[in-house]
Amino acid sequence: MNREKILSVEDLSVRFKSDEGIVNAVSDVSFELAHGEALGILGESGSGKSVTLRTIIGLLPRNRTDIRGRVRFDGREIQDLSNDEMNAIRGARIAMVFQEPMVAFDPVFTVGEQIAETIVRHDGSSWADANRRALDLLELVQIPSAKRRLASYPHEMSGGMLQRSMIALALSCGPQLLLADEPTTALDVSVQIQIILLLRELQRELGMSVILVTHDVGVAAEISDRLAVMYAGRIVETGTAAEMIEAPCHPYTDGLLSSTVLNATKGKKLNAIPGAPPDLIALPRECSFAPRCRHVQQQCLSGIPRLEPFGKGRATRCLRVSEGQLELQSANPAL
């Protein structure tokens, strides 16, 4: 694998104005992504995962969003690009798979027309060539009767077929970076597995870099080389997928693994994380996870912990690291 960086996110913070106050959606997020690497971002709803993706691809309205920090794609600062420059990159070099394909597709045009239009727009191909390429893409994502489905409207296709079509649309111009935002949320379990395996196969076959946002540990483990766990807008732990699932460091990561069916025993209750995430309008000035943490100490309330290196290529936002108190957790302990 080429380990050269394709994406670098440094101290990214994103804030929105609301009637209730300033929403701190993302706070001081930093990570890097290599060519051909797959990164999974895990966390509950409202943790800042999707906002991070939309910042990278430039989908947040600049007039209503306060974005600080740096996002560098293939050596270029995303924030410094004009709308025209960003439009040239979006879809062609950075593509996104949304979690609701029925909303993402235009209902008055066929699926084939929408894929072909993207190819014509970015590659300058003729419509005839674009339609042939659209057919190839539908076959690539394993849609049955692909030629007939080119003429189908979104409402005429099942959720699984639509999600495959959304992946085909995202791949239409050969992007270097694919952003997948909860790509299996709206699908039943059997179709979820098919989409996960398809994404993994395409990522490896095409050599793309992928960032997968999900709350499903099983999905993230299947696709990702590395994981980043987010809580209350901050990254609280990073590391390889295998190491983090085998031995999570941060209590929140430990809780996520404990509350999933991935390692659950039939007939036993899942160990759900108690409490609820904090209000992003009024974030505490100490560890945000402290009210829900079984390891909380007085020091945890004295300030926001830093993301400290831990072991080889790992980091966690927990005071127990710097104080030498951290013991690696088993993958499924009782909370």
| Distance, CA of 35 to CA of 207 (rounded, Å) | 8
- pLDDT-derived band at 313 (thresholds 50, 70, 90) equals confident
Q: Residue range 52-60: average pLDDT?
A: 93
| Structural domain harbouring 52 | 5-93+175-322
Q: Is the pLDDT of residue 160 over 70?
A: yes
Q: Is the pLDDT of residue 186 over 80?
A: no
Are the C-beta atoms of residues 211 and 179 closer than 8 Å to each other? yes
Q: Is the pLDDT of residue 330 over 50?
A: no
Residue 231 included in any domain? yes
Per-residue pLDDT tens for 201-244?
888 888 899 999 988 888 888 889 999 999 999 999 999 999 99
Residues comprising the chain, all counted: 335
Residue 137 included in any domain? no
Least Cα distance to 94 among 172, 41, 31 occurs for 172
Tell me the CATH number at 296.
3.40.50.300
Please, what is the average pLDDT of the chain? 87
Least reliable range by pLDDT among 139-143, 215-219, 254-258: 215-219
Residue 113 included in any domain? no
Residue 150 included in any domain? no
- Number of domains observed in the structure of the chain: 1
And the tokens for 269?
Answer: 């209750």
Residue 254 included in any domain? yes
Residue 301 included in any domain? yes
Q: Is the pLDDT of residue 12 over 70?
A: yes
Are the C-beta atoms of residues 198 and 164 closer than 8 Å to each other? yes
Per-residue pLDDT tens for 287-303?
999 999 988 989 899 89
The whole model's pTM is what? Answer: 0.88
Residue 141 included in any domain? no
Q: Which amino acid is at 25?
A: A
Q: Is the pLDDT of residue 331 over 60?
A: no
Residue 131 included in any domain? no
| Distance, CA of 143 to CA of 135 (rounded, Å) | 10
